[in-house]
């Protein structure tokens, strides 16, 4: 009866000690000194004599680079770095501003203030022009209005999708530069 070969368990994190598959590794000790290329077994014995684990820090190098570290502490530090990176990243939302083709100047200025605020916060802005009744036959009014919006936001925003008709609405998306 033949046995199945013993496969290492699925790893979530770096390989360490007996899970390192390479026969030789480039070793860096706990003080950061390069000890050179040596057999993995020999390196593991040296790490255990210091009271640390042999952790593979660069598995794609030739030969892989391994370091004398405490595995638990190394995983904890990596998790903390990942959490900080996730907190600092900004998700970009799409804010929507709705207008009509024959919008009054004061209403237009109010909408533009909102657009500038959204762009300042780093969000994309979707400008929707709604046409009702006979306004639909005057599509050029919508294009003129969106061109005006484009000119007013030219220094802080770039056009992501140019004006297009979708049914009874004209849409344009701008994003911060």
CATH number, domain containing residue 23: 3.10.20.80
Q: Above 70 in pLDDT, residue 6?
A: no
Q: What per-residue confidence (pLDDT) applies to 152?
A: 94
Peptide bond into 63 cis (omega under 30): yes
30 shares its domain with 50: yes
Q: Quote the percentage of the chain above a pLDDT of 90.
A: 72
Mean pLDDT for the chain overall: 90
Of the candidates 87, 110, 141, which is a domain's last residue? 87
Among candidate residues 121, 174, 123, the one with its CA nearest the CA of residue 150: 174
67 shares its domain with 106: no
3 lies in some domain? no
Q: What per-residue confidence (pLDDT) applies to 163?
A: 94
Of the candidates 67, 87, 107, which is a domain's last residue? 87
The stretch 148-177 carries a mean pLDDT of 94
168 is written with which tokens?
Answer: 């009874």
128 lies in some domain? yes
Beta bridge partners of 66: 27, 56
Burial status of residue 47 (CB atoms within 10 A of its CB: 0-12, 13-18, 19 or more): buried
Residue 2: pLDDT band with limits 50, 70, 90: low
Q: What per-residue confidence (pLDDT) applies to 157?
A: 94
CATH number, domain containing residue 169: 3.30.110.10
Q: What per-residue confidence (pLDDT) applies to 119?
A: 94
Q: Above 60 in pLDDT, residue 176?
A: yes
114 shares its domain with 167: yes
Which residues form the domain of 133? 94-176
135 lies in some domain? yes
Of the candidates 87, 122, 146, which is a domain's last residue? 87
23 lies in some domain? yes
pLDDT tens profile 56-109:
999 899 899 999 999 989 889 989 999 998 888 877 889 999 999 999 999 999
Whole-structure pTM value: 0.54
Among candidate residues 153, 161, 157, the one with its CA nearest the CA of residue 128: 161
Number of domains within the chain: 2
- Cα dihedral sign, 64-65-68-73: negative
């Amino acid at each position: 009866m033949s046995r199945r070969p013993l496969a290492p368990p699925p790893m979530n994190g770096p390989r360490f000690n007996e899970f390192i598959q390479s026969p030789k590794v480039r070793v860096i000790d706990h003080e950061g000194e390069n000890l050179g290329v040596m057999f993995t077994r020999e390196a593991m014995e040296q790490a255990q004599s210091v009271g640390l684990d042999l952790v593979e820090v660069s598995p794609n190098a030739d030969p892989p680079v391994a370091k004398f570290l405490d595995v638990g502490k190394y995983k904890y530090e990596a998790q903390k770095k990942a959490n900080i990176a996730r907190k600092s990243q900004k998700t970009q939302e799409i804010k929507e501003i709705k207008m009509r083709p024959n919008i009054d100047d004061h209403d237009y200025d109010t909408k533009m203030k909102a657009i500038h605020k959204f762009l300042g916060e780093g969000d994309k802005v979707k400008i929707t022009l709604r046409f009702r009744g006979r306004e639909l036959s005057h599509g050029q009014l919508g294009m003129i209005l969106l061109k005006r919006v484009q000119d007013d936001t030219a220094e802080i925003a770039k056009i992501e999708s140019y004006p297009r008709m979708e049914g009874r609405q004209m849409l344009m998306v701008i994003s911060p530069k």
